[in-house]
Amino acid sequence: MSELLKVEHLHKEFDKNVVIKDMDLTVKKGEVVVIIGPSGCGKSTFLRCLNGLEEIQGGSITVDGSLVEPKKKDIIKIRQKVGMVFQSYELFPHKTVLDNIILAPMKVQKRNKAEVTKEALELLEKVGLSEKKNFYPRQLSGGQKQRVAIVRALCMHPEVLLFDEVTAALDPEMVHEVLETMIELAKSGSTMLIVTHEMAFARAIADRIVFLDQGEIVEETDKVKEFFDHPQTERAQKFLKTFTFDE
């Protein structure tokens, strides 16, 4: 499998405050990489660097052979290859579900409206929301909004999808429907980078686990089940312990 995303010696700081230090990561086509770690460890910032929402202070990020540089014009092309789904959905509140989805394919990729609409409806059908196509975001539940946000990202045909704690703002009963959608995506061969606090989900979907703490990769393994049952490092052990309770 070919390398889709390559991060080398990534260094990121906010006003001298180092958030990510000397990080390396490679993601191959079709791989599902789950990034876990305590709050403030740099997970979300790391994702935001990957599509150029954050400037980096050192190292390099390459997507499908092109360098991610937020200030360069090329960033527009790279962002089309890197879809992103946010914790707070970030649908456009003044547009209907369908218009949310077809806006960027039409304006950015200059695709034909009829063709994009057809694809959007097919994707909505897949996530069980085709009857909501003319609704406004405020009329949807959190879980529905998040599935629309996933469809919106998919409709751009990205090479890789970034998920930034996409279930963190959801009620428990809605978490499931969103995670199901993501598991379907993983099965269909999508390349995904997922930041999550849902450990059972991470265990189910991940091809590889990356455990991040204080801006560095502490543990990285493709033996996913083994990681959750017997983490190698002390820091990972301590972190995973916070998800269990003594009876």
Is 231 a binder of another protein (CB under 8 A)? no
Provide, rounded to whole angstroms, the least separation between the CB of residue 143 and another protein.
12
Among 43, 132, 147, 152, binds another protein (CB under 8 A): 152
CB–CB of 63/159 below 8 Å? yes
Is 117 a binder of another protein (CB under 8 A)? no
Which CB sits closer to another protein, 137 or 215? 137
Residue type, 147: R
Provide, rounded to whole angstroms, the least separation between the CB of residue 219 and another protein.
29
CB–CB of 147/179 below 8 Å? no
Among 36, 61, 123, 156, binds another protein (CB under 8 A): 156
How large is the C-alpha radius of gyration of the chain? Answer: 18
CB–CB of 219/35 below 8 Å? no
Provide the mask over 55-94, with x wherever binding to another protein is found by CB under 8 A and - wherever it is not: ---------------------xx-xx-xxx-x-x-x-xxx
Is 153 a binder of another protein (CB under 8 A)? yes
SS3 190: coil
Q: Nearest 5 degrees, angle CA 247-CA 237-CA 234?
A: 140
SS3 121: helix
CA distance 126 to 13: 40
Which CB sits closer to another protein, 51 or 196? 51
Q: Binding residues for another protein, how many (CB under 8 A)?
A: 27
Q: Nearest 5 degrees, angle CA 16-CA 19-CA 20?
A: 120
Q: Which one of the spans 3-11, 24-32, 101-109, 238-246 is the region binding another protein (CB under 8 A)?
A: 101-109
Provide the mask over 18-57, with x wherever binding to another protein is found by CB under 8 A and - wherever it is not: ------------------------------x--x-x----
Both tokens of 82, joined, read 């890197």
Both tokens of 99, joined, read 């218009």
Provide, rounded to whole angstroms, the least separation between the CB of residue 240 and another protein.
30
Which CB sits closer to another protein, 139 or 233? 139
CB–CB of 205/175 below 8 Å? no
Provide, rounded to whole angstroms, the least separation between the CB of residue 81 and another protein.
9
CA distance 92 to 90: 6
Which CB sits closer to another protein, 76 or 200? 76
Q: Do the bridges between strand 216-221 and strand 66-67 make them parallel or antiparallel, or are there none, so unpaired?
A: unpaired
Positions touching another protein (CB under 8 A) are 48, 51, 53, 76-77, 79-80, 82-84, 86, 88, 90, 92-94, 103-104, 107-109, 136, 138, 142, 152-153, 156
